């Protein structure tokens, strides 16, 4: 199977490459290879590669910047998806976000729950979802991180090494997602020829504060940090940002797990694995 992967240098893109099934012919591209704001360039890329499958792991993910740059965010998060769908007659796999929901649910969000994005980023990602066809595959996820990436875990490690104390938001609830685990799930769904909407995040529930505390504990155990610092829970209102984030964005992944028939690894187990990889990177 010949597979075109966009966003190949990003966290998920690298995960998709590292977990690709044996015998898959990968064609990874990133911004240096194709300008995803150019529909003609996208069409030419798809024509030249002639893939059996397109995995779109590219996205405009600067959540706060999107509030003042929604036009650019929409070009990448929606326009590029539309161009890929137009150019490729076969299946397109697209990755979206918990930000398409408003965070008012009292239970984990199911794939068919109504969307109501609160931010420019969420609106542009929802528009990208709408560009897909019935035969395409949509996978929503949240709080993605991986070793060597730009993410919350590595930011916390840096700040914990530099600062005497940290304040972390406690009233935004969800579940972290280790990128290689997400990638493996996507490949699993592809193998099942799945279409429609599915969710994937790691098992368990956490606030950003819970996540930060766990990062410090696990990093200390692995020698990634020299000492513990106080981590104080604060409300989101005490840390205002340009973009409004959903207060509750836990994703119901039962449909995914039932189809794949696999286990659901807890986020803390995957965090430990990621930190071991981070330590190995030096």
What is the pLDDT, as a whole number, of residue 263? 79
What is the pLDDT, as a whole number, of residue 262? 87
Helices (H), the chain: 11-18, 39-49, 70-74, 80-87, 120-130, 152-162, 179-191, 208-222, 254-260, 267-281
Dihedral (CA of 54, 278, 21, 137) sign: negative
Distance between CA 64 and CA 85 in Å, rounded?
A: 28
CA 174, 92, 25: angle at the middle one, nearest 5?
Answer: 105
What is the pLDDT, as a whole number, of residue 182? 97
pLDDT tens, position by position, for the chain (282 residues)?
999 999 999 999 999 999 999 999 999 999 889 999 999 999 999 999 999 999 999 999 999 999 999 999 999 999 999 999 999 999 999 999 999 999 999 999 999 999 999 999 999 999 999 999 999 999 999 999 999 989 999 999 999 999 999 999 999 999 999 999 999 999 999 999 999 999 999 999 999 999 999 999 999 999 999 999 999 999 999 999 999 999 999 999 999 999 999 878 999 999 999 999 999 987
Q: How many helices (H) does the chain have, and how many strands (E)?
A: 10, 12
Closest by alpha carbon to 167, among 245, 238, 226? 238
What is the pLDDT, as a whole number, of residue 130? 97
Tokens of 238: 């005490």
What is the pLDDT, as a whole number, of residue 117? 98
Distance between CA 197 and CA 189 in Å, rounded?
A: 11
Going by C-beta distance under 8 Å and a sequence separation of 6 or more, which residues neighbour residue 213?
231
Orientation angle between helical segments 152-162 and 267-281, nearest 10 degrees:
60
What is the pLDDT, as a whole number, of residue 282? 76
What residue ranges define each of the domains in the chain, with the CATH number in brackets? 2-281 (3.40.50.720)
**Which residues are annotated as catalytic?**
121
Strand 53-56 and strand 137-141: the pairing is unpaired
């Amino acid at each position: 199977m010949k597979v075109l992967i966009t966003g190949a240098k990003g966290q998920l893109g690298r995960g998709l490459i590292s977990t690709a099934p044996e015998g898959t012919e990968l064609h990874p591209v990133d911004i240096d290879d194709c300008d995803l704001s150019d529909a003609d360039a996208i069409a030419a890329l798809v024509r030249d590669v002639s893939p059996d499958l397109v995995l779109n792991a590219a996205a405009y993910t600067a959540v706060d910047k999107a509030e003042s740059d929604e036009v650019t965010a929409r070009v990448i998060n929606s326009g590029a998806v539309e161009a890929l769908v137009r150019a490729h007659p076969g299946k397109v796999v697209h990755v979206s976000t918990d930000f398409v929901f408003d965070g008012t649910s009292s239970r984990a969000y199911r794939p068919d729950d109504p969307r109501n994005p609160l931010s420019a980023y969420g609106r542009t990602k929802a528009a990208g979802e709408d560009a897909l066809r019935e035969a395409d595959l949509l996978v929503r996820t949240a709080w993605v991180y991986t070793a060597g990436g730009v993410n919350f875990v590595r930011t916390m490690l840096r700040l914990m090494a530099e600062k005497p104390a940290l304040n972390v938001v406690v009233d935004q609830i969800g579940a972290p997602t280790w990128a290689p685990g997400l990638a493996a799930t996507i490949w699993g769904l592809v193998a099942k020829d799945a279409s429609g909407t599915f969710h994937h995040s790691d098992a368990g529930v956490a606030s950003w504060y819970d996540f930060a505390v766990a990062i410090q504990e696990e990093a200390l155990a692995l020698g990634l940090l020299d000492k513990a610092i106080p981590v104080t829970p604060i409300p989101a209102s005490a840390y205002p940002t340009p973009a409004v984030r959903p207060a509750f964005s836990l994703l119901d992944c039962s449909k995914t797990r039932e189809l794949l028939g696999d286990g659901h690894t807890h986020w803390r187990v995957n965090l430990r694995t990621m930190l071991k990889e981070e330590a190995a990177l030096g």
